[in-house]
Amino acid sequence: MDKHFIRLNTNEKGHKLPNRTRYIPYVSRDVFELPYIKFLSHAVTPLMGSESTWHANASYQHQFVIEDYDFSKDYHLNIEGIQQHCQIFINQLWMGSTEAPNSNVEWDVTQALHEGTNEIEVVAIEDHGLTNQMMFRDMYLLERANDRIVDYDVEVAPNQRGDLKVCMQIKDIEGAPLITYTLQNEQKMTLAKGQLDIDSCHHILIPAHLVNQRHRYFTLFLETDDETIAHYIEITGRHAPVNVKFNTIFEQSRCV
């Protein structure tokens, strides 16, 4: 009998998380402002690279070590750009299965991990004629603080005077984080700051004279004691979270 079907009889060790805004938090705002983001890599563990093995039976294996592993933190598996239905195993424990193609999924896999070498395996359920390398676009492990923002929403609306009205709301949290916000222009000048009430929408008005000062974008920071989320806001009203990984900004198209 195939070893993968044997392992399906074990208890599921991964907890699938709800869909959320696709962001990767910085360690702090100070780290965000560094020319080279050299202190971020401990928060993200890549699960693709030279240590990976592609098998002819449409399966993918990768061994990895979590840098500065902390048993008190939570670890979330992120798979992006899924092209076919797959089963996911970590250290031979079943995490779950992916759903619709062309989607992103996130699991809390904390209980399946340990210090030292771990192994992840992705096994295609059906053969859709895709090559192994097309099973998914990217896969990584994200370390999260215990008190954190889980999901948030930002809406930006220009008015007839040329002002930008920014509405931000925390949609979900874990633990009991104290959340503050800071809005800065390109020159890192603070335009607004304060504490966020998680039960209501908070509004900021960026006056037209600031929008028209040859700024390309503003940066909204949502901060807790252990994490910082950065969100770009263009003067046109377009906006998107800043996603960083492996010491680089990996979504160069900032706004959608």
Q: pLDDT tens digits for 36-95? A: 554 555 688 889 876 667 666 678 899 999 988 999 999 999 998 888 888 999 999 999
As a whole number, the mean pLDDT across the chain is: 83
What does the domain layout of the chain look like in residue ranges? 3-144, 148-249
User: Does the pLDDT of residue 246 top 60, yes or no?
Assistant: no
User: Does the pLDDT of residue 183 top 70, yes or no?
Assistant: yes
User: Does the pLDDT of residue 9 top 50, yes or no?
Assistant: no
3-state secondary structure the chain: CCHHHHHCCCCCCCEECCCCCCCCCECCHHHHCCCCCCCCHHHEEECCCCCEEEECCCEEEEEEECCCCCCCCEEEEEEEEECCCEEEEECCEEEEECCCCCEEEEEECHHHCCCCEEEEEEEECCCCCCCHHHCCCEEEEEEECCCEEEEEEEEEEECCCCCEEEEEEEEEEECCCCCEEEEECCCCCEEEEEECCCCCCEEEEECHHHHCCCCCEEEEEEECCCCEEEEEEECCCCEEECCEECCEECCCCCCC
Q: What's the rounded mean pLDDT across residues 167-187?
A: 96
pTM summary value: 0.84
Instruction: For the domain covering 3-144, report its CATH number.
Output: 2.60.120.260
User: Does the pLDDT of residue 181 top 80, yes or no?
Assistant: yes
User: Does the pLDDT of residue 230 top 80, yes or no?
Assistant: yes
Instruction: For the domain covering 148-249, report its CATH number.
Output: 2.60.40.10
